[in-house]
Amino acid sequence: MGKIWAIARNTIAQAMRMKIAAAVIVLLLILLPMMSMIMIGDGTLLGKLQTFSSYGLSLVGLLLSILTIAVSTFTLSDELKRQQIFLVVTKPVRRWQIIMGKFLGVVVLDIILLIFFSGVIYGLTVSVPRLLEVADDEKAIADDQFFTAREGIKVALDIQAAAERARERFKKLKEEKGRDWPPLKMAEKTGIEERMTEIEVLSIFVQEEMVREQSVEPGRGRVWDFKDIRPWSEPNTMVFVRFKLDSSVAPPDGVIYGLWSVGNLPAYQRGDGSLTTPIYNVERNSPTRTSQEFFVPADAVTQDNFLGVGFVNNPNLNPSSVTIQELEVLYKVGTFGGNFVRAALLMLVRLVFLAALGIALTTWLSFPVAVLVCLVIFSAGLVNGFIVDSIDGLGAGIGQAYMFTVKPLLMLLPRFDDNYNPAGYVVSGRIIRWLFLLKAAGETIGIKSLLLLVLGMLVFRRREVAKSSV
């Protein structure tokens, strides 16, 4: 361990002399405080906090990722190039200890920088409401929606049922048309055009059914059930309903008028006296296509952790059917500070992977090539979901061959997007569960990074560190 640590310390000393390290540190030290002052968001305190934390965390994440890639690909390749490695490998140090030492050095450097810069962001975020003169209700909103750690439960779309309905419709259509297939005169009713293949028609039906699943016709109402809602048992706890509205015909003022009911709605409908919790009605005028939130007291949640959310499409105010997207019920389950630490740890998971990647690659590749490969993999990680989905779609036709060749490789791609993006959690005040964090760490560090490091060690063990020269 002493030897590994000696190499780690030397790696840190080496990294701190790199110009990119100084550039990243100086840049962040200037940009972060500036951003906290300049960024306004939508003008509210919440908007300002969300904008700053989003950009701040993303910037720190991006710059530290780039720094990690630069340092991890530089440290070993430079020692090989300058032949300083001669004096290390000829000492009683095993080759794997050199790799581990380099890895540890980069990770320790990352931890130090991450603690420092996430500390700066945290400090700035917390002090923004104190420094600004804002109304108390704005502060309350910020406390409820930003300085918190909320669990969110989304409506699960019943895709199976939608697909089933689409198939029914398709069958019916085919029977109706009979000999007229392919349908030539359907354009007036749906998006179906001439000369569409059966699969294309079917997929349009599926999409339509999916939209229908989320939409509410004028004059109708709809109730969604949420189970297993366990808000913090503290006074004045709120439950938040988050949604995004859209309508088939754009409303003239861009606003959709909705009437929401929250509570044990099934018991209310039954009217058999089993209703013990209050029902809250909220009238809400929401602009289309942006995420909106309202809240009701948490006592609307029943003893067995159930909550119903209903929406009525008022035909007098809305001319057309309304689609309710991304409907979600949120409730506080943790503190902002704790969540922020977990967000930083999630970011560290990413950096650790990049450190392992860079070092493993340079046991085999030269510095410029390794940097390029790292950047490609890093970018791929940022859009992992998209890549996996698109290649999955293409490869599905190949079947077995695909399953055993490309698919396992895709699994090795790191995931930095969606759920693995720490900024997203902080911005929307959502909790990062320890379990999720451990799972992410286990996958990314325990499996992917370890695999890379072991591969690197194997290559480095066999490798001639001296160049051929006569």
Partner 1 sequence: MSTDMTENQFAIETVALTKIFPDWWGRQRVIAVDNLNLQIRTGEIYGFLGPNGSGKTTTIKMMLNLLHPTRGGATVLGGDSADAAISSRIGYLPEESYLYRYLTAYETLDFYGRLFGLPGSVRKERIETLLDMVGLSGAGNRQVGTFSKGMARRIGLAQALINDPDLLILDEPTSGMDPMGTRQIKDLLVELGKRGKTILLCSHLLAEVEDICDRIGIMYGGKMQVEGSVKNLLELTGKTQIQTSHLNENSLVKIQTLLRQENCEFEITHPMDRLETLFVRTVNKAQQEQQATSGVQAGSGISGFLAEREIVRQPGILDKLVAGQAETQIDKIRGDTETVAVTPQKAEPQQDAELLRKLATAKTDPIAETLKPQQAKSVEAVKIDILSRLVGKDKNADGSTTPTDSKAAGE
* Residue with Cβ nearer partner 1 (98 or 357): 98
Distance CA 277, CA 156 (A): 24
Q: Token digits for 54? A: 């989003």
CB of 110 to partner 1, least distance (A): 20
H or E element at residue 223: strand 221-226
Q: Token digits for 201? A: 């028609």
Does 17 help bind partner 1 (rule: CB under 8 A)?
yes
301 half-sphere exposure, CB direction, 13 A CA radius: 23
CB 46 within 8 A of CB 146: yes
What region does 236 belong to: left with phi over 0, alpha with psi -120 to 50, or beta? left
* Residue with Cβ nearer partner 1 (80 or 216): 80
CB of 99 to partner 1, least distance (A): 15
List of residues 6+ apart from 8 with CB closer than 8 A: 101, 102, 104, 105, 108
Whether the link from the prior residue into 297 is cis, omega within 30° of 0, is: no
CB of 30 to partner 1, least distance (A): 25
Among residues 170, 141, 167, the alpha carbon closest in space to that of 240 is found at 141
Choices 5-13, 103-111, 357-365, 366-374 (CB under 8 A): range interacting with partner 1: 5-13
* Residue with Cβ nearer partner 1 (12 or 216): 12
Instruction: Let me know how long the chain is.
Output: 470
Q: Which of 108, 333, 441, 465 binds partner 1 (CB under 8 A)?
A: 465
Among residues 462, 260, 453, the alpha carbon closest in space to that of 359 is found at 453
Choices 7-15, 128-136, 228-236, 341-349 (CB under 8 A): range interacting with partner 1: 7-15
Residues 204-263 that bind partner 1 (CB under 8 A): none
The CA-CA-CA angle for residues 46, 416, 121, to 5°, reads 40
How many of the chain's residues bind partner 1 (CB under 8 A)? 28
Which residue type does 161 have?
A: A
CB of 107 to partner 1, least distance (A): 19
304 SS3 class: coil
Choices 348-356, 384-392, 426-434, 458-466 (CB under 8 A): range interacting with partner 1: 458-466
320 SS3 class: coil
Residue 445's alpha-carbon distances to 9, 414, 463, in angstroms, are: 21, 10, 25
* Residue with Cβ nearer partner 1 (233 or 469): 469
Choices 3-11, 144-152, 264-272, 389-397 (CB under 8 A): range interacting with partner 1: 3-11
Eight-class DSSP state of 446: I
* Residue with Cβ nearer partner 1 (92 or 252): 92
Does 469 help bind partner 1 (rule: CB under 8 A)?
yes
Does 470 help bind partner 1 (rule: CB under 8 A)?
yes
* Residue with Cβ nearer partner 1 (93 or 111): 93
Burial of 56 (0-12, 13-18, 19+ CB in 10 A): buried
Query: From the centroid of its chain, how far is CA 426?
Result: 11
Does 6 help bind partner 1 (rule: CB under 8 A)?
yes
Q: How many CB atoms lie within 10 A of CB 61?
A: 23
CB of 109 to partner 1, least distance (A): 15
* Residue with Cβ nearer partner 1 (102 or 350): 102
Does 14 help bind partner 1 (rule: CB under 8 A)?
yes
* Residue with Cβ nearer partner 1 (14 or 323): 14
Torsion angle (degrees, nearest 10) of CA 211, 213, 216, 221: -170
Does 160 help bind partner 1 (rule: CB under 8 A)?
no
CB of 458 to partner 1, least distance (A): 15
* Residue with Cβ nearer partner 1 (92 or 393): 92
Residues 65-94 that bind partner 1 (CB under 8 A): 82-84, 86-94
CB of 408 to partner 1, least distance (A): 32
Does 366 help bind partner 1 (rule: CB under 8 A)?
no
CB of 11 to partner 1, least distance (A): 11
Which residue type does 164 have?
A: E
Choices 9-17, 203-211, 293-301, 370-378 (CB under 8 A): range interacting with partner 1: 9-17
Does 10 help bind partner 1 (rule: CB under 8 A)?
yes
Q: How many CB atoms lie within 10 A of CB 371?
A: 21
* Residue with Cβ nearer partner 1 (2 or 178): 2
Q: Token digits for 27? A: 């840049």
CB of 70 to partner 1, least distance (A): 16
Would you tell me which residues interact with partner 1 (CB under 8 A)? 2-3, 5-7, 9-10, 13-14, 17, 82-84, 86-94, 464-466, 468-470
